[in-house]
């Protein structure tokens, strides 16, 4: 059967009206199964399919717009389809999409938008299934959670499909394991009070067999609980981390420019702590609470006075725990913050290792990093020392309670008001009681630490995604122009503008070529990022075909542009992945054409594994100039209408620079060069110079490179 289908409804058939909207119809069925209420005309109005239909990449993108995260899977054997999270979308017969709802006893329940529900045998699936599937998970709407002031604990918990069922299993198995463990004191009492005095070997055999069976049941229950807990923890970690990362990648560029990547990465470690608490600690505390009541009841049954002393000991221990924990929580918070600083500094050093080695300053950097690491270690030491101190106080309290209880018990045995077996059984129950209650108390105290971890994630979750990630996506093409009206280039609303009153129109239809020059730091690159819609327009307007960019659509606008920025680097991946930027819609032919246009195709064919060669930002397989050209190919393969190029000819010799610029001029797109090279200027239709905080147009033949 499919993975847990809790939180989903039965698939409601949706039939396509046109040949090319099968993907949209399938997505409507999946969305409604995930408790949306969408029909095909509504989706068609928002996301009109093209004449070629929808691709898998477009289905993934539209799914994100309606709150579903999709994951593509290559499935080699049709039997593996039973393990998918249903309902899922299958590529069918090479040119069609269908919805697989479930697999029951070898029968595949399929909803075909062209015909309706169908049942298929394994042989039919092998004939029609094209080997690629999409499975879906509902996305956590952090914005809605914040707006409704719901507990993020419960929102995260409930959003993970099937988690309640799994948590229930964990609780039941924890309870079963503890109940089996409770039998040990009973067997112990029977052995001491009955078997030994009566020399009853038959009863001893019964006691031993019963003890073995109950011990085996306890061990199996704990094993099953740990196995289910591991599965639930992994499932929750994947779900929550994917939502956190997905939300972060939808945030504006400014969010990342104001934070160090190391700080963001270390914040994600909080997910592991949250996962451990929610899946393990929280569930265990439910079972611990129930068992504590049972244990106290059995203790009072055996020896009420000693049980009262034990409960009093626990009360004192709880007061000590709550008194010492706030300071431990503060030290833990400082430790986490200093860890972020240390990791950020280390990442900086690793990124700049070549410069450190060349300047013989690696040792000095290590000392600076050690300063951050020592701060982190000291806060960690303080947190652990406080915990050790608290454990000492608790040990003394428990020792005093044990001595007092033992004195009372031995006295009662000497008075013959209590048997030795009952005394043994009581102390076994008392040990289990303190262990259980300590775990329960620690779970409650962990709530304070969880607030720290959720607070570290709040910096990400409270940020509003940019419009490009939440807007309606409709395929649009820039036909005429992109214009800036009264634009000011400034970092913040109250800052003095670097460039004031920019009025500029780029003729997209004529494939106009512009060059922007000026001294370093004058705002050229920032202007280019505004043109790329990456920085907000604080004053003025960015118009696309005469309409504000928000009316045209930020996502649609970005689909029409290709960008190369001065700080762009290669990813750790293959040549093909670096050019396509992981987009499944970029074909091999597009990749090869783009590499050929920048003069890199022969060089790539000469690499050890060709297009499958692994590269990275520091890869020695390509020169600095070749890496820049490969990044340019990344922009060209998307076939943009507007190219925004920041120092694209850097690290090239004059001959290669001229060859590359001439190749770009032949590319059918408008182009904006931000450059310090005078060799680019003769090829520009217009040259714009940033001078004295204004953008001034000069003639190409007379412009001087800054």
Of the listed ranges 179-188, 206-215, 470-479, the least confidently predicted one is 470-479
% residues pLDDT > 90 (the chain): 14
Give residue 145's pLDDT.
59
The pLDDT of residue 5: 47
Task: List the beta strands (DSSP E) in 123-231.
Answer: 129-138
pLDDT confidence bin for 333, thresholds 50/70/90: confident
What is the CB neighbour count within 10 angstroms for residue 212? Answer: 11
Query: Is pLDDT of 642 > 90?
Result: yes
* Of 49, 59, 57, 2, nearest in space to 21 by CA: 49
Which of 254, 697, 319 is closest to 512 using CA atoms? 697
Torsion over CA: 394, 396, 399, 401 (sign): negative
Query: What would the pLDDT profile of 580-596 be if each residue is shown by its tens digit?
Result: 888 877 889 999 999 99
Which pTM was predicted? Answer: 0.70
Hey, which residues does 644 pair with through a beta bridge?
A: 563, 672
Does the bond joining 222 to the residue before it have cis omega, within 30 degrees of 0?
A: no
Give the pLDDT of residue 483: 92
pLDDT number for residue 161: 61
In this prediction, residues 421-439 reach a mean pLDDT of 80
Q: How many angstroms separate the CA atoms of 489 and 294, rounded?
A: 70
Confidence of residue 474 (pLDDT cuts 50, 70, 90): low
State how beta strands 642-646 and 561-564 pair: parallel
CA distances from 360 to 85, 130, 349, 363, 506 (A): 54, 57, 13, 8, 48
Which pLDDT score, from 0 to 100, does residue 678 have? 83
Burial pattern 125-159, b for ≥16 Cβ within 10 A else e, equals beebbeebbbbbbbbbebeebeeeeeebbebbbeb
For residue 507, pLDDT over 90 is answered with yes
Q: Which of 87, 64, 235, 224 is nearest to 162 (CA)?
A: 235
CA separation for the pair 405, 422 (Å, rounded): 13
Q: What is the structure's pLDDT at 671? A: 93
Residue 514: is its pLDDT beyond 90? yes
Of 244, 228, 230, 83, the C-alpha closest to 159 is: 244
Kindly report the average pLDDT of the chain as a whole number. Answer: 82
Choose between 140 and 534: higher pLDDT: 534
């Amino acid at each position: 059967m499919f993975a847990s289908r809790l939180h989903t409804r039965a698939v409601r058939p949706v039939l396509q009206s046109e040949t090319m909207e099968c993907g949209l119809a399938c997505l409507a069925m999946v969305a409604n199964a995930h408790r949306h209420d969408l029909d095909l005309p509504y989706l068609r109005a928002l996301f009109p399919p093209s004449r070629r239909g929808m691709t898998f990449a477009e289905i993934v993108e539209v799914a994100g717009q309606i709150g579903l995260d999709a994951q593509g899977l290559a499935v080699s054997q049709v039997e593996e389809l039973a393990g998918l999270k249903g309902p899922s979308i299958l590529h069918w017969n090479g040119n069609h999409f269908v919805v697989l709802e479930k697999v029951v006893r070898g029968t595949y329940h399929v909803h075909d938008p062209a015909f309706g529900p169908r049942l298929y045998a394994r042989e039919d699936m092998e004939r029609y299934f094209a080997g690629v599937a999409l499975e879906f998970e509902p996305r956590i709407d952090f914005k809605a959670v914040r707006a409704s002031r719901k507990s993020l604990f419960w929102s995260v918990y409930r959003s993970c499909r099937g988690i309640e069922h799994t948590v229930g299993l964990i609780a039941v198995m924890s309870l079963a394991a503890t109940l089996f463990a409770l039998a040990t004191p009973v067997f112990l009492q029977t052995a001491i009070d009955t078997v030994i005095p009566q020399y009853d070997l038959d009863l001893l055999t019964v006691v031993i067999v019963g003890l073995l069976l109950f011990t085996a049941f306890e061990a199996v229950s704990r094993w099953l609980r740990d196995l289910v807990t591991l599965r639930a923890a992994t499932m929750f970690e994947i779900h929550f981390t994917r939502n956190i990362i997905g939300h972060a990648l939808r945030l504006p560029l400014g969010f990342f420019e104001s934070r160090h990547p190391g700080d963001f990465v270390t914040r994600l470690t909080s997910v592991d702590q949250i996962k451990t608490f929610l899946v393990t600690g929280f569930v265990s505390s439910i079972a611990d609470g129930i068992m504590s009541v049972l244990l106290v009841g059995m203790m009072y049954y055996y020896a009420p006075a000693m049980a009262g002393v034990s409960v009093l000991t626990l009360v004192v221990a709880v007061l000590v725990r709550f008194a010492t924990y706030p300071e431990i929580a503060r030290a833990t918070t400082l430790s986490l913050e200093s860890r972020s600083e240390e990791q950020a500094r280390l990442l900086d050093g690793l990124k700049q290792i070549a410069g450190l080695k060349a300047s013989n300053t690696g040792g000095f950097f290590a000392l600076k990093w050690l300063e951050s690491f020592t701060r982190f270690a000291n806060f960690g030491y303080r947190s652990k020392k406080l915990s050790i101190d608290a454990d000492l106080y608790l040990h003394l309290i428990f020792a005093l309670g044990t001595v007092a209880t033992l004195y009372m018990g031995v006295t009662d045995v000497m008075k013959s008001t209590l048997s030795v077996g009952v005394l043994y059984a009581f102390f076994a129950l008392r040990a289990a009681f303190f262990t259980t209650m300590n775990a329960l108390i620690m779970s409650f105290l962990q709530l304070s630490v969880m607030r720290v971890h959720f607070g570290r994630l709040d910096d990400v979750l409270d940020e509003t995604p940019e419009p490009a990630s939440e807007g309606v996506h409709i395929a649009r093409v820039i036909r005429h122009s992109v214009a800036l009206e009264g634009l000011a280039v400034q970092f913040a609303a109250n800052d003095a503008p670097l460039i004031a009153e920019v009025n500029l129109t780029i003729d997209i239809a004529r494939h106009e070529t512009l060059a922007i020059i000026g001294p370093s730091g004058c705002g050229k690159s920032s202007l280019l990022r505004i043109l790329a819609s990456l920085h907000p327009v604080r004053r003025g307007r960015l118009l696309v075909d005469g309409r504000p960019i928000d009316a045209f659509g930020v996502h649609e606008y970005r689909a029409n542009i290709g960008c190369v920025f001065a700080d762009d680097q290669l990813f750790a991946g293959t040549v093909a992945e670096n050019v396509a930027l992981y987009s499944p819609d970029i074909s091999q032919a597009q990749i090869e054409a783009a590499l050929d246009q920048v003069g890199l195709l022969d060089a790539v064919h000469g690499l050890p594994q060709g297009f499958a060669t692994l590269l990275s930002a520091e890869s020695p397989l390509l020169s600095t100039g070749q890496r820049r050209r490969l990044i340019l190919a990344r922009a060209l393969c998307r076939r943009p209408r507007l190219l925004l190029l920041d120092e694209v000819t850097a690290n090239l010799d004059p001959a290669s620079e001229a060859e590359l610029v001439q190749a770009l001029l032949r590319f059918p797109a408008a182009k904006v060069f931000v450059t310090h090279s005078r060799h680019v200027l003769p090829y520009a239709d217009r040259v714009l110079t940033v001078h004295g905080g204004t953008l001034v147009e000069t003639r190409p033949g007379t412009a001087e490179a800054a």
